[in-house]
Amino acid sequence: MIGWIVLVLALVAVVYAVVLFNTLVKSRQMVGEGWSGIDVQLKRRTDLVPRLVETVKGYVAYEKDVFERITQLRNQAQALRAASPGERAVAENALSGAILQVMAVAEAYPDLKASESFLKLQEGLIEVEDHLQLSRRYYNGAVRQLNTHIEQFPSNLIANGFGFKLAEYFELDDPGDRAAPQVRLNS
């Protein structure tokens, strides 16, 4: 009788371990899926940068250093496609800042702001940034879930035994990016 109880307990423990392992695998896959979504949006944004630069260059010839900087940052971001989320975030945040700088330069030129191609690029960038924000939120939620499973008992025993590693969040480095935007309405 005690042999059967031990056997049932052992079987329950094995089934529970399998369930925990599968939960960890599912969470890791969700992190990969989330990162893929971020990667797609970052690629879309990177592809828009040369068009933005060319459009703005046509109106603003003397801002050469701004254009060189955004091109350099775009190339750095592309070179880091296989980097860790933290390294990639640094490069992408720098590129975001450069894009904002180009947009700020454009504000001084009414003809450029009225240009149909510039307006389409601006809409495209806004759409990409919206999708990027959603992708970043999904990815960071998946990372939180995986990391929680890895650190919680008893799943941490399975995670450590099978080499599961904590995932890295994709975060904004600039505290100004976290602040609420200032909106001015023209009256």
pLDDT for position 180: 44
Residue 164 DSSP label: -
Average pLDDT over residues 80-106: 87
Listed residue (108, 116, 97, 96) closest to 55, CA to CA: 116
Average pLDDT over residues 68-94: 88
Task: Kindly state the tokens that stand for 107.
Answer: 């504000």
Confidence at 63, pLDDT banded by 50, 70, 90: confident
Residue 44 pLDDT > 50, yes or no?
A: yes
* Maximum Cα interatomic distance, the chain, rounded to a whole number of Å: 89
pLDDT for position 173: 60
Residue 100 pLDDT > 80, yes or no?
A: yes
Residue 1 pLDDT > 60, yes or no?
A: yes
Residue 182 pLDDT > 70, yes or no?
A: no
pLDDT, one tens digit per residue, over 104-162 is 878 888 888 788 888 888 889 999 999 999 999 999 999 999 999 999 999 999 999 99
pLDDT for position 52: 86
Contact by Cβ (8 Å): 124, 48: yes
pLDDT for position 148: 97
Residue 20 included in any domain: yes
Q: How far is CA 72 from CA 76, 83, 136, 148, in A?
A: 6, 17, 24, 38
Residue 88 included in any domain: yes
Contact by Cβ (8 Å): 31, 84: no
Residue 40 included in any domain: yes
Residue 176 included in any domain: no
Model-level pTM? 0.80
Residue 25 included in any domain: yes
pLDDT, one tens digit per residue, over 167-177 is 999 986 654 44
Structural domain including 75 reads 16-170
pLDDT for position 67: 83
Confidence at 82, pLDDT banded by 50, 70, 90: confident
Long-range contacts (CB closer than 8 Å, 24 or more residues apart) made by 81-89? 81/39, 81/43, 84/168, 85/35, 85/139, 85/167, 85/168, 85/169, 85/170, 86/168, 86/170, 88/42, 88/170, 89/170, 89/171, 89/172, 89/173
Q: Write the CATH number for 110.
A: 1.20.1440.20
Residue 161 included in any domain: yes
The number of domains in the chain is 1
Residue 178 included in any domain: no
Residue 79 included in any domain: yes
